[in-house]
Amino acid sequence: MTEFLFNWLVNVPAFAVPFALAALGLILSERAGVLNLGAEGFMLAGALAGIGVTINGGPPLAALAGAMLAGMAMGLVFAFLTASLRINHVIAGLALVFFADALTRYIASYAGWTNQAIKGLEPIFLGQDLVVWATPLICLGCVLLLNRTRFGLALRAVGENPAAADAAGIDVTTMRILAILLGTALIGLAGGYLTVAVSKIWTGSVVGGRGWIAIALVIFARWHPWRAVLGAILFGCIEALIPRIAATGADVPRYFLQMPPYLATLAVMIWSATRSSGGGAQPAALGLHHIREDRD
């Protein structure tokens, strides 16, 4: 039993990191008023870039950098659709998920990357890799950015009242584009980490709905970074438990083993819906377009 608990707990951080990074990326963009339902697609782009760089001889850190760039590239398309063309945020996000799913499967199949195992990231301290140790620092950076910098205050102002922010001289469109790019870089990193450090292989289902769970995490966290990380640890505990149960040889159908993360997501959504409204709720202008009025 002690060995079971140890093997479970030592794997929790690696399983929690993708949820944490994706949720932090979503918070950055949504605090600027951009409703981002495309996390699954951005993670797929990052996952494919990570595995592609590694298979072609790049070191793991270069693969993670490539994953961030891939996420930002998809984010640039999302920013163009939502901030520039003012397409509905929900439609744009869902469209990019389906596009990324088809595109990544095609590229991986064409390049022959499917089911190729890689070496991936190695532990550096206490059995954990560099990204695990960096994630709390990334969260702290997000907190400081949002609450202690002029850029962060402007970003939050755009998400709460874009008209007032515009009147104060803040370029709403530019702020939203920057928030999207910062956020999708982290979401791409989450996807890259999945292939470079967790699965160490590419399959079309490697992300496995984690982007959707990250969206639920943001609502659970009420758009607060530290709460999102705590929620990510909860889901990391659940995900790390699944292979441990399977390794015991327990006669449990694999479909039942795949259910707990999604059941937990439903529980989180129900719990969030029953909470009383108050401070820390969603940004007031989330998902709303801002049309600049001409001023003399």
Q: Would you tell me how many other CB atoms lie within 10 Å of the CB of residue 257?
A: 14
Per-residue pLDDT, 77 = 97
Give 145's contacts (C-beta < 8 A, 6+ positions apart). Answer: 28, 151, 152
Give 166's contacts (C-beta < 8 A, 6+ positions apart). Answer: 172, 290, 292, 293
User: Position 131: which residue type?
Assistant: V
Per-residue pLDDT, 256 = 78
**From 123-137, 189-203, 241-255, 260-274, the region with the lowest mean pLDDT:** 241-255
Which spans in the chain are helix H?
A: 2-30, 39-55, 60-79, 89-111, 130-148, 150-160, 162-167, 172-193, 210-221, 225-247, 254-257, 260-274
User: Position 116: which residue type?
Assistant: Q
- Residue 292 is given by DSSP the state P
Per-residue pLDDT, 86 = 92
Beta bridge partners of residue 202, listed in sequence order: 114
The domains located in the chain, with CATH, are: 2-274 (1.10.3470.10)
296 pLDDT higher than 50: no
Task: Judge whether 167 and 160 are in contact, CB under 8 Å.
Answer: no
- Residue 202 is given by DSSP the state B
Task: Judge whether 39 and 215 are in contact, CB under 8 Å.
Answer: yes
Whole-model pTM: value is 0.93
127: left (phi over 0), alpha (psi -120 to 50) or beta: left
pLDDT tens digits, residue range 4-54?
Answer: 787 788 889 999 999 999 999 999 999 999 999 999 999 999 999 999 999
The CA distances from residue 224 to 81, 142, 178, 254, in Å, are 26, 10, 19, 34
